[in-house]
């Protein structure tokens, strides 16, 4: 079983749609969680950090369910510019700062 | 402008050659990391360094070497011992905060072995 699992997609949605991605992690001791966005052939960029039960930033909402060991990302009112790959990332050790990356979920927003 | 720079952007290497990838940051971050990304896969950790003159192996360190002589710099050498070096290499840095550890990435170097 992978340490961090995501549905690779692609998710094809029309502009204005609401889309949700889920991510599961295997290490119950994981402490911090992040969503990164990666555009084609570019570096990942931090989208949101998820430290407690969840947080919201504009159209984006991230939620954490520790009991079930999954994290979700909800995007409301999708824009064409939201098309990218979204990486679920888990901090497995605060001593080393080691992050584990999921393979990513690809989103394509269509006009 | 504060940030992380990597050079070169594209690198071509013949089999049997060592190459060094540059990573510099002016964010005053303590920790620096090297990852490789292969198509359709998540990032995998090669090496990381929490302080100057100290570094640790990640999950796939074989065939790679690093140094951390300055806080700002963390070069990665891909040696001829690395069996499949063609990949996208990403350098990242972070503050050393045990409550968070948000990592920020440079633009990456695409290495192709001919």
What pLDDT score was predicted for residue B74? 98
What pLDDT score was predicted for residue A53? 72
| Selection from A28, A23, A25 nearest residue A87 by Cα | A23
Encoded tokens for B61: 């360190």
Q: Tell me: the pLDDT tens digits for A3-12?
A: 999 999 999 9
Suggest the residue from B32, B38, B43 to mutate for an interface test with chain A (most A CBs closer than 10 A): B43
Query: Among A56-70, A90-104, B24-38, which is the least confidently predicted range?
Result: A90-104
A91 reaches B (C-beta below 8 A): yes
What pLDDT score was predicted for residue B40? 79
What pLDDT score was predicted for residue B106? 97
Q: Of A42, A43, A97, which has the smallest distance from its Cβ to B94's Cβ?
A: A97
CA distance A76 to chain B (A): 24
Greater pLDDT, A1 or A17: A17
In whole angstroms, what is the distance from residue A80 CA to residue A75 CA?
A: 12
CA distance B3 to chain A (A): 12
Suggest the residue from A97, A101, A102 to mutate for an interface test with chain B (most B CBs closer than 10 A): A97
CA distance B16 to chain A (A): 26
Q: Of B101, B104, B106, which has the smallest distance from its Cβ to A32's Cβ?
A: B101
Percent of chain B at pLDDT > 90 equals: 75
Asked if the Cβ–Cβ distance from A44 to B99 is below 8 Å, we say no
B85 reaches A (C-beta below 8 A): no
Mean pLDDT of A93-107: 87
Mean pLDDT of B95-107: 76
Cα-trace Rg, chain A: 13
B111 reaches A (C-beta below 8 A): no
In whole angstroms, what is the distance from residue B112 CA to residue B114 CA?
A: 6
| Residue where the block lists tokens 């510019």 | A81
What pLDDT score was predicted for residue A52? 74
Q: Print burial letters for A84-107: b (CB count within 10 Å at least 16), e (below 16).
A: bbbbbbbbbebeebbbbbbbbbbb
Mean pLDDT of B87-91: 97
Identify whether the C-beta of residue A30 lies closer than 8 Å to the C-beta of residue A39.
no
What pLDDT score was predicted for residue B26? 95
SS3 content of chain A, % helix, strand, coil (to 5): 5, 60, 40
Asked if the Cβ–Cβ distance from B48 to A97 is below 8 Å, we say yes
Q: Tell me: the pLDDT tens digits for A36-77?
A: 999 999 999 999 988 777 889 999 999 999 999 999 999 999
Mean pLDDT of B96-108: 77
Mean pLDDT of A1-24: 94
Mean pLDDT of B35-44: 91
pLDDT band (50, 70, 90) for residue A96: confident
């Amino acid at each position: 079983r992978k340490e961090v699992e995501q549905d690779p997609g692609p998710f094809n949605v029309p502009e204005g749609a609401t889309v949700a991605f889920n991510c599961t992690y295997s290490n119950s001791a994981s402490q911090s969680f992040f969503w990164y966005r990666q555009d084609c052939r570019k570096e990942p960029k931090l989208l949101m950090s998820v430290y407690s039960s969840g947080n919201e930033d504009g159209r984006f909402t991230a939620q954490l369910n520790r009991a079930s060991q999954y994290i979700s990302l909800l995007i409301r009112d999708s824009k064409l510019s939201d098309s990218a790959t979204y990486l679920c990332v888990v901090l497995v050790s605060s001593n080393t700062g080691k992050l584990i990356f999921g393979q990513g979920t690809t989103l394509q927003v269509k006009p | 402008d504060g940030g992380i720079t990597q050079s070169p952007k594209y690198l071509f290497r013949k089999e049997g050659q060592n190459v060094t990838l540059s990573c510099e940051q002016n964010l005053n971050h303590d920790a620096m990391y090297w990852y490789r990304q292969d198509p359709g896969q998540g990032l995998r950790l090669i090496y990381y360094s929490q302080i100057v003159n100290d570094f640790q192996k990640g999950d796939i360190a074989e065939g790679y070497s690093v140094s951390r002589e300055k806080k700002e710099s963390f070069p990665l050498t891909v040696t001829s011992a690395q069996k499949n070096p063609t990949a996208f290499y990403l350098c990242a840095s972070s503050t050393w905060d045990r409550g968070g550890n948000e990592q920020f990435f440079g633009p990456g170097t695409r290495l192709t072995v001919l």
